[in-house]
Chain A
Amino acid sequence: MRVDKELSKGSHELIILKLLSRGDMYGYQIVQQMSLLSDKAFEMSQGSLYPFLHRLEQEGYLTSYSVPENGRERLYYHLTEKGQVALADKEARWEHYVHAMGQILKGCDA
């Protein structure tokens, strides 16, 4: 089942940071990994990934470097230390959110 677009919007930053914590990736790879690891539940219009990446780079969470690949320059993204701190913070917030939401949903079922 695909996650509702509005619901998933707020989690794209966290997903991107988390994926990049596993290793440097380029845009297409990030989208593929996102789809693969979430069993296609998290899919975004692929072109909208880049503004996210550029904004995270602006905020200092990511850096980019290019590697020549088949006559083109492929841009890889790398998670910075600041990005790792942000990731830890976002993960904690996300867990808190999921826990709180779980409590409510369980409470309603009881």
Chain B
Amino acid sequence: MDWAEEYLSECLAGIPKSKYRARLRGELEEHLALLERDLETVGYAPEDARREALEQMGDAESLNEGYRAEWFRQPERRRWDLTRELYGCLLAGLSVVVLFPLFGMLWNRWDTPLRHPPTWVFGAVVFLCAALPNAFFLRYVFRGRKDCRIQLESGLCTTWLLGHGLMWLLIAVVYQKSPFALPPTLRYSDRQGTLWWYTQSFVIWTCAGQFVLGLFFPLKRKEERTHERSET
């Protein structure tokens, strides 16, 4: 079915690898093969039969709209979304868990003529290091979807909260204290300037930052925007 490959790809564009995609592809492939066979039986030349089969199947672009709408209704789609959000969470959660202590250590050992750069600069850099890869990942995974912005927003905020939750839990294990009592304990018992990164107010404000980032993060890549502009 090499002759139908391009057509099928167009029909199934935007439907990610899933059981539903495989099923739909299988049905369309078989349908095309049977249609081609029957057209040849009634006297079409092979090339004409293929062209006619594609014609009778319908315009790939409008079929694609229907297939995508149907994929959106599939229960498998919700599972698929959730697993991708989870991958995003793992990605950014790991960044939080690894980057925060790492940057904290760097901040504490910083030795330059300026001495310490402002801690908020470090905080902002860590924030962006953890948030941006996740934002790019989520945009890639949910590209072309109507709810891309919502997925991006929920992914970024959930990830941030879960990442910090994990961080708190780790610190709680290390310090052997309740995770809820932890931030003030750390803040007041230690002179390290980076410890406010683990406080509730920091998490809440940076979560708001994630929300704002999700609000303004471009949903299309630069090439896609350029392509659209050149088309118009």
Contacts and interface: CB of A to CB of B under 8 A. Distances in A.
Contact of A50 (B28, B34, B56, B59): B28
Interface stretch (B62-70, B123-131, B138-146, B219-227): B62-70
A54 B70 contact: yes
B225 to A, nearest CB: 30
Interface in A52-87: 54-55, 58, 72-75
B27 interface: yes
Contacts, number: 54
Contact of A75 (B27, B56, B58, B62): B27
Interface residues of A, number: 17
B70 A45 contact: no
Contact of A28 (B11, B35, B58, B63): B35
- Dominant SS among interface residues on chain B: helix
Nearest to A73: B26
Contact of B59 (A27, A45, A55, A74): A45
Interface in B165-214: none
Contacts of B29: 72
Contacts of B74: 54, 58
A47 B35 contact: no
19 contacts: A26-B30, A27-B30, A28-B30, A28-B31, A45-B63, A46-B31, A46-B56, A47-B11, A47-B28, A47-B58, A47-B63, A48-B66, A50-B24, A51-B69, A54-B24, A54-B70, A58-B73, A72-B29, A73-B26
